[in-house]
């Protein structure tokens, strides 16, 4: 299987760039060769288990953080309006559509709490990123897991068939974690529109920035149309801010108010400053996408050379079959200095490997050659 082409990054500028090559798109911001983007300091263990960006935060974001360190003694309420406005402008909505969260994970959890409280039923694919469902269960929610199809896609027909009068939320992860698969845009749009007439649809778009399909739409477009849809986004992946825990939800203002009421805490000043600057740092955004493509292509080449089956990915990780028991396989990888993702039941014969620096990709290649030699 071969990876598909990089999606058109229209959001890097207001220009129509569809006919340009990748390098032309990147040069539309500024020359990446002149940027001081560096990975984290070397580590003997290649951490390819958590879908992190080893190049962030950018120097521009670091400087913004340092410049604001003298205000961390103050509570962050007075600093959130600027970030809310920046995100609202980015998404093309008003500020009352935006809910700031501690990473997108908090957004998932408060949605699960708000809508799954005391017996609310939630429908989700299986496997997927389970934070929303696990948290909701603690407050009495009933979860209906619908297995992915043999091609590892969301079974939208099966999910739709499970809707009943007690269904309070349908969870869609697109691209899906851990499979890396993407729902065809017309299928997703149609499913969300029809399901939103009966219940709330939550679309997790944590990996949206990595999508390689040209002009692929965010489901924020349905929020703008007034549909009962919630979309989650994060600064942890392409922006390289996983440790600062910054994310947000986009929802209609009435739903946004309900979600805000159930937030566990408020996000910090440093995270808000970093997120606002990251949105404006188009060069680093483009650089991250470019380096992710290089690393992912290297993973594909390694797996191809070993004859291992994998899913072409629209994320910063690759889901593949190691043809070995996963626990033993992960231990073998660690022996050679590589950490891979945990098991994802029920697909326990599959493994997930994150993209990293090219040095880490070389480390992964050598480890795999040792294991399969």
Query: What is the CATH topology of the domain spanning 21-57+282-372?
Result: 3.90.1150
Q: What is the pLDDT of residue 27?
A: 43
The reply to whether the predicted model has a pTM over 0.75 is yes
Q: Which ranges in the chain belong to alpha helices (H)? A: 22-27, 59-67, 80-91, 103-116, 131-137, 156-161, 185-196, 220-224, 253-261, 269-280, 282-305, 326-335, 358-372
Q: What is the pLDDT of residue 306?
A: 97
Quote the tokens at residue 152: 């590892």
Place of tokens 């948290």: 135
How do residues 88-110 score in pLDDT, each as one tens digit? Answer: 999 999 999 999 999 999 999 99
User: What SS3 class is residue 345?
Assistant: coil
Q: What is the pLDDT of residue 43?
A: 64
User: Do residues 319 and 182 lie in contact, with contact meaning Cβ atoms separated by under 8 Å?
Assistant: no
Q: What is the pLDDT of residue 263?
A: 87
Place of tokens 């598909």: 4
User: What SS3 class is residue 325?
Assistant: coil
How do residues 300-350 score in pLDDT, each as one tens digit? Answer: 999 999 999 999 999 999 999 999 999 999 999 999 999 999 999 999 999
Question: What 8-state DSSP symbol labels residue 228?
Answer: S
Q: What is the pLDDT of residue 73?
A: 86
Quote the tokens at residue 201: 């649809």
Q: What is the pLDDT of residue 37?
A: 63
Q: Options 3.30.420.40, 3.40.640.10, 1.10.3660.10, 3.40.50.2000; which CATH number does 60-280 get?
A: 3.40.640.10
User: Do residues 57 and 278 lie in contact, with contact meaning Cβ atoms separated by under 8 Å?
Assistant: yes
Q: What is the pLDDT of residue 6?
A: 34
Quote the tokens at residue 76: 């962050």
pLDDT below 70 — which residues of the chain? 1-43
Q: What is the pLDDT of residue 35?
A: 52
Rounded Cα distance, 195 and 200, in Å: 7
User: Do residues 212 and 3 lie in contact, with contact meaning Cβ atoms separated by under 8 Å?
Assistant: yes
Q: What is the pLDDT of residue 111?
A: 96
Rounded Cα distance, 280 and 300, in Å: 31
Rg (CA), the chain: 20
Q: Domain residue spans in the chain?
A: 21-57+282-372, 60-280
């Amino acid at each position: 299987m071969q990876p598909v082409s990089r999606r058109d990054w229209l959001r890097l500028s207001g220009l129509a760039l569809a006919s340009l090559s990748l390098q032309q798109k990147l040069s539309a911001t500024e020359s990446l060769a002149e940027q001081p983007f560096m990975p984290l300091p070397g580590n003997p263990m290649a951490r390819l288990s958590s879908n992190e960006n080893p190049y962030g935060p950018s120097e521009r974001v670091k400087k913004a953080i340092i410049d604001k360190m003298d205000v961390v003694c103050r509570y962050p309420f007075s600093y959130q309006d600027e970030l809310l406005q920046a995100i609202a402008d980015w998404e093309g909505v008003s500020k009352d559509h935006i809910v700031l969260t501690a990473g997108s994970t908090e957004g998932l959890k408060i949605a699960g709490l708000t809508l799954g409280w005391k017996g609310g039923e939630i429908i989700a694919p299986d496997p997927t990123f389970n934070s929303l469902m696990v948290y909701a269960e603690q407050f009495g929610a009933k979860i209906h897991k619908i297995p992915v199809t043999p091609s590892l896609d969301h079974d939208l027909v099966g999910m739709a068939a499970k809707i009943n009068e007690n269904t309070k939320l349908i969870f869609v992860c697109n691209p899906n974690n851990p499979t890396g698969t993407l729902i065809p845009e017309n299928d997703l749009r149609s499913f969300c529109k029809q399901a939103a007439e009966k219940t709330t649809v939550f679309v997790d778009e944590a990996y949206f920035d990595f999508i390689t399909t040209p002009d692929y739409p965010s489901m924020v477009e349905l929020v703008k149309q007034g549909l009962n849809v919630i979309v989650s986004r994060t600064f942890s992946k392409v922006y390289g801010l996983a440790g600062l825990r910054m994310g947000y939800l986009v929802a209609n203002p009435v739903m946004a108010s309900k979600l805000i009421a159930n937030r566990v805490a408020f996000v910090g000043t440093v995270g808000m400053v970093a997120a606002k600057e990251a949105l404006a740092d188009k060069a680093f955004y483009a650089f991250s996408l470019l380096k992710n493509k290089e690393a992912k292509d290297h993973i594909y080449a390694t797996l191809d050379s070993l004859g291992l089956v994998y899913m072409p990915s629209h994320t910063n990780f690759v889901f593949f079959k190691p043809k070995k028991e996963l626990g033993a396989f992960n231990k073998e990888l660690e022996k050679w200095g590589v950490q891979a993702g945990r098991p994802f039941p029920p697909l326990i014969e599959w493994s997930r490997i994150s993209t990293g620096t090219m040095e880490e990709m070389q480390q992964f290649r050598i480890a795999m050659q040792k294991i399969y030699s």
